[in-house]
Amino acid sequence: MTRAALADGRELIYFDAPGAPPRVPSPDPRTLAPRPATPRLRRDPLTGDWVTVASARQNRAFLPPAEFDPLAPQTPTNPSEIPDDYEVAVFENRSPSFGPGLGEPAKTGGLEQVRDAVGRCEVVCFSPDRTGSFATQTERRARTIIDAWAQRTAELSAMDGVEQVVVFENRGVEIGVTLHHPHGQIYAYPYVTPRTRALLDQVRAHGGDLQGDVLASELAGPRVVAQTDRWVAYVPFAARWPIELHVQPRRRIPDLAAIDDDERTELAGLSLRLLRAVDALYGTPTPYIAAWHQAPVREGRDDVRLTWQITSPRRAVDRLKYLAGSEAAMGAWVADIVPEAGAERLREALARVDADAARFDADEAARDGDGSDE
**Spatial distance between the Cα atoms of 335 and 321, rounded to a whole number of angstroms:** 9
For 337, residues 6+ apart whose C-beta sits below 8 A from its C-beta are 239, 242, 243, 315
Is-contact 281 346, C-beta < 8 A?
A: yes
* Cα–Cα nearest to 159, from 297, 301, 12: 297
* Total Cβ atoms within 10 A of residue 55: 11
Phi-psi region of 59 (alpha: psi -120 to 50; beta: other; left: phi over 0): alpha
Q: Which residues contact 278 (CB under 8 A, 6 or more apart)?
A: 135, 243, 245, 286, 288, 310, 312, 346, 349
Beta bridge partners of 319: 316
Query: Do the Cβ atoms of 148 and 125 come closer than 8 Å?
Result: no
Burial 273-290 (b: 16+ CB within 10 A, else e): bbbbbbbbbeeeebbbbb
State yes or no: is 206 an active-site residue: no
Distance CA 100, CA 121 (A): 8
- Please list the residues that pair with 225 across neighbouring strands: none
Q: Can you state the angle between helices 261-280 and 339-370, rounded to 10 degrees?
A: 100
Q: Pick the closest to residue 37 from 106, 123, 108 (CA basis).
A: 106
Q: Which amino acid is at 237?
A: F
Taking only Cα atoms into account, the Rg of the chain, rounded to an integer number of angstroms, comes to: 21
Nearest to 123 by CA among 50, 179, 162, 74: 179
Q: For residue 199, give the amino acid letter.
A: L
| Candidates 180, 183, 246, 293; catalytic one | 183
Q: Catalytic residues, which ones?
A: 183
